Amino acid sequence: MTPVLIACSHGTSSLDGRAAISDLVENVRLLLPGVAVEEAFVDVQQPEIDDVVRATAPRDAIVVPLLLSTGFHTKVDIARAVTDAGHRATATAALGPHPLLADLLATRLREVGLAPGDAVVLAAAGSSDPAASVDVAAMADLLRERVAAPVSVGFAAGGGTRIDAAVSAARDAGARRVVAASYVLAPGFFADVIARAGADAVTTPLAPDAAVAAVVVERYLAAVRAPVDVA
């Protein structure tokens, strides 16, 4: 029987953010018409990931984190839910870094008029987990291949340079304009932090663009094809 796809996001109190994630999940359903796709959350919203994984029994489940980087929620919340389900459930990697997301970021930058002399700050949510910074750095490398502008990184929380400090540093280095590339999925707290960080232009969050849905589908199908560990 085809495994259930559990699309697990952080959760948000923003109504616009909730709508963006729900639209993303609906786009995934349209791309996978023969697959049951369920929503789950690690915080703020219901249903919680543990409950959704349990509710899929006895069917197999594949949890695809609607998160852009490795971090606490992938390593603890989602990992716990999957471990408790035994061999019946598995989880994929986070959505980023991924070339399709870099393509989308580059498109969003062109939409706000990125031009010669501008600098880009890849503005991410951030995490206390160093693995998140590694993922964002890899995403910045992918973006540098796609835009003719210097790309630095800033974080709204966790370790690393804060977004406003990255914006100021780029401006002090002589940028004509500083553009914040919003590396968040949906409107909400972190998108608001990015908007207030002082950039001359700010791109919109990534969801529910079709490219994000395509990454979700790719993660799911790769897990379906993965060999089963029977040890």
Residue-wise pLDDT tens for the chain (231 aa)? 899 999 999 999 999 999 999 999 999 999 999 999 999 999 999 999 999 999 999 999 999 999 999 988 898 899 999 999 988 999 999 999 999 999 999 999 999 999 999 999 999 999 888 889 999 999 999 999 999 999 999 999 988 999 999 999 999 999 999 999 999 999 999 999 999 999 999 999 999 999 999 999 999 999 999 865 544
Measure the CA–CA gap between 161 and 15, rounded to whole angstroms: 29
Q: What is the pLDDT of residue 229?
A: 53
What is the model's pTM? 0.95
Domains of the chain listed by start with CATH number: 4-95+209-225 (3.40.50.1400), 99-202 (3.40.50)
